[in-house]
């Protein structure tokens, strides 16, 4: 057992990088769910974002434009979900699951030509002024943190945020007050899609820096779970994502260092610890457990 090889600064950087894709997707889904919509298509939107980001980055030579492309791609895909659930009144759970399957297939199709290509260098996005260890962080990690703060402030302090929450709590009341329930929800869904797309592109452009079919490998589902366990609060979503990413990276490092704990326990620890911590936090606050938006998953029709 030799822990002297584990450098805390490197570990911190690695955990932030590992958590960022989940964090981006989760904070987007949080806004969607706050508007009363349950979109289970996060995995599909992420993987489409991953391939769109990759395609844009390679064709423009700019990873930053790649991220823009990923956000657009994710948002466009989510608009299919919006059209089906908001205008055609389809079931949100079934449509969301369908979106994931569709996204996985579509991304594989879009990405066929790009499997063996290399993405442009992302060295320009790295925070190399932080030194060798923390220098592997990049602007997207910071962007994700800023986004969490912005979403928190938006929901808590702005009028638009209040309207969005009202739509999510009681769409009938919001409608009676003259707010365009469907418009608000479509905008929220598109935002969620864009965030999931960014999360996917972070995976293909920064964390792994290659395109592989199905490369999100369940990250979208983790993001969905973190929104619920974080009881729809941006700060707890941040805690959940960092905890999950952190323990994932930590357990790999402990394995390399030869910690004398059975690998099975280390391997399941990210799931266990994340669930445990978030359950404790939400149960201690009474009301937090009931924090789910009241109209979550319910379709709205103006006549009804």
Partner 1 sequence: MNLKSILAAGALALGTAGFAAADGHEPTKVGFIYVGPIGDLGWTYEHHQGLLAVEEAYGDKVETMYQETVPEGADAERAITQMALQGADLIFTTSFGYMDPTINVAAKFPDVKFEHATGYKRADNVSTYSARFYEGRAVIGHIAGKMTKTNKIGYIASFPIPEVVRGINSAYIHAKKANPDVEFSVVWVYTWFDPGKEGDAAQALIDQGADVIMQHTDSTAPQAVAKEAGIYSFGQASDMAAFAPAPRISSIIDDWAPYYVARVGAVMDGTWESTDTWDGIGPGMVEIGEISDVVPAEVKAEALALKAALADGSYHAFTGPINKQDGSVWLAEGETAADFGDDGLAGMNFYVEGLTGDVPN
Which parts of this chain interact with partner 1 (CB under 8 A)? 5-7, 10-11, 14, 18, 21, 104, 108, 111-112, 115-116, 118, 203, 207-210, 212-219, 248-249, 252-253, 255-258, 262-264, 267
Coil, strand or helix at 126? strand
Q: Quick one: 162 or 261, whose CB is closer to partner 1?
A: 261
Nearest distance from C-beta of residue 268 to partner 1, angstroms: 8
Closest CA to 138 of 51, 11, 13: 13
Q: Quick one: 217 or 279, whose CB is closer to partner 1?
A: 217
Nearest distance from C-beta of residue 70 to partner 1, angstroms: 16
The b/e string for 263-288 (b: 16+ C-beta within 10 A; e otherwise) is eeebeebbeebbbebbeebbeeeeeb
Q: Which residues pair with 138 in a beta bridge?
A: 126
Which H, E and C letters describe 12-32, residue by residue? HHHHHHHHHHHHHHHHHHHHH
Nearest distance from C-beta of residue 156 to partner 1, angstroms: 32
Nearest distance from C-beta of residue 37 to partner 1, angstroms: 27
* Positive or negative: CA dihedral 114, 118, 124, 130: positive
Q: Quick one: 69 or 270, whose CB is closer to partner 1?
A: 270
Instruction: Tell me if 44 sits within 8 A of 77, measured CB to CB.
Output: yes
Q: Quick one: 21 or 192, whose CB is closer to partner 1?
A: 21
Phi/psi for 170 (5° steps) reads -150, 95
Q: Quick one: 263 or 290, whose CB is closer to partner 1?
A: 263
Nearest distance from C-beta of residue 208 to partner 1, angstroms: 5
């Amino acid at each position: 057992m030799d822990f002297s090889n584990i450098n805390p600064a490197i570990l911190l950087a690695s955990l932030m990088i590992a958590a960022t894709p989940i964090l981006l997707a989760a904070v987007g889904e949080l806004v969607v769910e706050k508007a009363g919509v349950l979109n289970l298509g996060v995995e599909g939107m992420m993987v489409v974002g991953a391939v769109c980001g990759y395609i844009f980055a390679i064709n423009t030579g700019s990873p930053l434009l790649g991220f823009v492309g990923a956000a657009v791609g994710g948002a466009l895909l989510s608009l299919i979900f919006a059209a089906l659930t908001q205008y055609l009144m389809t079931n949100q759970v079934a449509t969301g699951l369908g979106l994931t399957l569709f996204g996985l297939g579509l991304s594989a199709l879009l990405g066929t030509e790009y499997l063996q290509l290399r993405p442009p260098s992302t060295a320009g996005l790295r925070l190399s002024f932080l030194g060798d260890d923390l220098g592997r962080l990049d602007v997207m990690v910071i962007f994700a943190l800023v986004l969490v703060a912005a979403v928190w402030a938006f929901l808590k302090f702005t009028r638009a945020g209040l309207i969005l929450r009202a739509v999510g709590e009681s769409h009938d009341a919001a409608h009676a007050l003259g707010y365009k329930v469907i418009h608000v929800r479509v905008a929220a869904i598109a935002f969620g899609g864009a965030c999931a797309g960014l999360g996917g592109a972070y995976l293909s452009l920064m964390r792994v820096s290659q395109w592989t079919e199905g490369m999100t490998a369940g990250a979208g589902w983790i993001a969905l779970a973190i929104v619920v366990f974080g009881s729809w609060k941006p700060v707890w979503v941040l805690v959940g994502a960092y905890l999950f990413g952190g323990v994932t990276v930590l357990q790999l490092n402990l394995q390399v260092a030869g910690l004398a704990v059975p690998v099975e326990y280390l391997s399941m620890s990210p799931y266990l610890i994340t669930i445990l911590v978030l359950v404790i936090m939400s149960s201690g606050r009474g009301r937090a457990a009931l924090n789910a938006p009241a109209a979550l998953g319910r379709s709205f029709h103006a006549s009804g």
